[in-house]
Structure 1
């Protein structure tokens, strides 16, 4: 969010946190934060994020953490 506020036009992000240990932000959390805090629409259809996360989880053969913000099975349904 600080980078966006400072004028960044692009972000290196991940889906479901794959690659997050390299310092990349979560796309779903970034997109929702930009919309919520800055009223900035980055062009991502936010309601599709849960199905995208599920698709990435299946393709990577890595279970989606239930407490993953926004897209985990125990997260509140915001979409």
Structure 2
């Protein structure tokens, strides 16, 4: 019979992450929890979520329109 290969990392690290690795791990965990909470909220209230997305889109469009209009010069310039 062939021996079992013990190649690759299949366990958990012996040392706990420290410094930036701990911060990155904690941040990733928090983002996953928040994304899950948002997904559950959207599945429970789809009409409210749709209205919120539509409202944010309309506000962003309006703000972009106003910023675009304010950047256009209303004076016509002629080279003489």
Pair in the same fold by TM > 0.5? no
Q: Which has the larger radius of gyration?
A: 2
Using the size of structure 2 for normalisation, the TM-score is 0.24
Using the size of structure 1 for normalisation, the TM-score is 0.24
By percentage of residues, which structure has more helix? 2
By percentage of residues, which structure has more strand? 1
